[in-house]
Structure 1
Amino acid sequence: MPAQRGPAHSREPTVQQPPVPRFQRGSRFRHRRLQPFVPWLFLAPALVLFLYFKILPMLQGVQMSFYEVRPYLGDRYVGWSNYVEATTQPLFTKAIFQTIVLAIGTTVGSIVIGFLLAILVEGQARHLVLVRTAAFLPVVTTMAVVAEVWRMLYYPDGSGALNTIIGWLGFGPQPFLASEHQALGSVMLVGIWRGAPYDMMIFLAGLATVDRNLYESAAVDGAVRWRRFVHVTLPALRPVITILCILAALRGLRSFTEVFLLTNGAPNGSTEVVMTLIYKLGLEQGKLGVAAAGSMVLFAATAVVTLAVHAWRRQAALR
């Protein structure tokens, strides 16, 4: 009896794919080649506006700082004379000192108060959301309105709001913005009041990233609340504090609006800062080249502060 052969393995018929048309191959190749440029096309409108309203004015300011700007007569190249005149102004040294004092005061005050506010309003309770929203209102309020409100609060007569409260405590009325000794501190208080809620929100974001298991482990080890705060909370917030120091310092160095609206450098130059001095040189005295040179000096100072802090952070990360 003949041996039976096993079942033959059936082979599936191969389906031949139709060739890709030539124009489709070209379109796919062009698509892959243009794909890296698609994000830049979406960014192009914002980049054009940024270039036109930021970069080009800065470059024009650098150019103006080396010229005596004479409208309708033609600019005249003067080299470094504008820088010499800007830095040898009678009020320039005083303005630099008061700018540094104002920057340090607003930086420290806003960070400390912002941190305390963040500790107080941290949590998921519904009423805390309302408190955080109300506390953030000074940041989004127009500075012109803020300055006018604080000018009324600082009214030097006994009927002023703050002087009324001071009178309840048994003290006499204070001049505030009208005094050479109190004006800079009064402006500083406005800057702290406006900057602290912003710092509070940054601290709240930082506190949300702290691992809660660390608090539980510290509590199990017998650490009291103060120990947990020092050894868990503060180390976790170190990057946040560094960033806030940079932002607050730059904000303080560029203080202009609150000073201009509250005192405009008065009384007797006791609140004059670099930005208000540059404004007066350029738009009141017509020395646009000297004002541009002063702006470049301030820009260099802020760049040095930023680069120094960045280098310090890199060194600290390598240790």
Structure 2
Amino acid sequence: MSRPAGRDKQPAAAATRRTPSRRQHRRNRRTSGSWWIPWLFLAPALILFVYFKFIPMAQAISMSVQDVRPYLGNLYVGAANYTEILSSDGFRAATWNTILLAVGQTFGSMILGFALALLVEGQTRKLTFIRSAAFLPVVVPIAVVAELWRIMYHPTGDGLLNQLLGLVGLGPSGFINDPDTSLASIVVTGIWRGAPYDMMIFLAGLAGIDRGLYEAAIVDGASVRQRIRHVTLPGLRAVFAILFVLAAVRGFRAFTEVFLLTNGGPNGSTEVVMTLIYKLGFEQNRLGVASAGAVLLFVATLVLTVCVQLLRRRRVA
């Protein structure tokens, strides 16, 4: 005997009524109070970010179109500050030095970090100690790093690095005291401090590569260089993209090491955008022009980040 059609529909309708919709589930979560718990944990960090980062950013954008006059009131000048700083020879020279510094530190730290990651990859206790020791330059305060390298860069023959150069028959170098080598010396300092950080990111990326690919490459007779080229590098494309952005931003925002080692000298050979902004704002009291330079630096960093992400998505697609 066949069952009436109405009886078959009743259980289905009851099941539909018993199954809560997504809107009801979201409403139940809100009424139960669980939705605000993650925001409660994030609140301290968000408050600090808003107060010390986002509010100053908004104030810098506002000051960049004003003639800042403390205690007298600011005057709106439009794009005059941008025109002044873009037409400045010092800003163009500082921009070129910043690009050279960022490129040198970015590729130098990534290459050295990748090499270190290949050398210390593994799970033994000795490698754990070596990785921890190699990571020390990252956790040491940048002021200590700058002072250490300033001592090693002593321009006389008694300096540490000059003594090492003397062992191979090379004459003493002025390093940060010579306009021809000062910027390169700062690049070396940045590479020494940034490479261990890149090494740790590369180690995390190497751990995610399928070991079966290496075994298959060994069976096919691939050499170490071929395994790195055809297995390791393709598996680290996303890591390279992330590190490129991080290292480039770090290079564009270089300030402390330059300020402590050379303060933009000698003869402006190491003047970068950050040190120029500092001098315009706090030494020359031209806060509007300094704010315009800071906004331009932010826009350049944002454009670089967006371009790298677009290129990465296009390659993935």
Give TM-score scaled by structure 1 length.
0.89
- 2: distance between equivalents of 1:31 and 1:213? 46
2:29/2:35 contact within 8 Å kept: no
Which residue is 1:195 aligned to?
194
Secondary structure, aligned partner of 1:36? coil
Secondary structure, aligned partner of 1:91? helix
Confirm whether residue 135 of structure 1 aligns to residue 134 of structure 2.
Answer: yes
Secondary structure, aligned partner of 2:37? helix
Aligned residues: CA RMSD: 1.4
1:210 Cα deviation (Å)?
A: 1.0
Which residue is 2:166 aligned to?
167
Which residue is 2:10 aligned to?
none
Confirm whether residue 278 of structure 1 aligns to residue 277 of structure 2.
Answer: yes
Which residue is 1:41 aligned to?
40
The amino acid across from 2:147 in the alignment is E
1:165 Cα deviation (Å)?
A: 1.0
Confirm whether residue 296 of structure 1 aligns to residue 304 of structure 2.
Answer: no
1:58 Cα deviation (Å)?
A: 0.4
Cα 1:179–1:221, aligned 2, differ >3 Å: closer, same or farther? same
Tell which structure's C-alpha radius of gyration is larger.
1
CA offset digits 1:263-284 (Å, max 9, x no partner): 0100000000000000000000
Cα 1:212–1:161, aligned 2, differ >3 Å: closer, same or farther? same
Structure 1 gap ranges (5+): 1-27
Which residue is 1:311 aligned to?
310
1:43 Cα deviation (Å)?
A: 1.7
Q: Which moved more, 1:218-227 or 1:56-65?
A: 218-227
Secondary structure, aligned partner of 1:117? helix
1:45 Cα deviation (Å)?
A: 2.2
Which residue is 1:123 aligned to?
122
2:152/2:160 contact within 8 Å kept: yes
1:233 Cα deviation (Å)?
A: 0.9
- 1: distance between equivalents of 2:135 and 2:120? 12
Structure 2 gap ranges (5+): 1-26
1:33 Cα deviation (Å)?
A: 5.5
The amino acid across from 1:157 in the alignment is T
Which residue is 1:12 aligned to?
none
Which residue is 1:214 aligned to?
213
User: Which runs of structure 1 show a deviation greater than 4 angstroms over 4 or more consecutive aligned residues?
Assistant: 28-31
Secondary structure, aligned partner of 1:174? coil
1:315 Cα deviation (Å)?
A: 1.2
- 2: distance between equivalents of 1:119 and 1:125? 14
- 1: distance between equivalents of 2:155 and 2:300? 36
CA offset digits 1:180-229 (Å, max 9, x no partner): 10000000000000000000000111111111111111111222222212
Give matches, 1:1-319, under 5 Å: 32=31, 34-318=33-317
- 2: distance between equivalents of 1:31 and 1:240? 38
Share of identical aligned residues, percent? 58
1:61 Cα deviation (Å)?
A: 0.6
**Count of paired positions:** 291
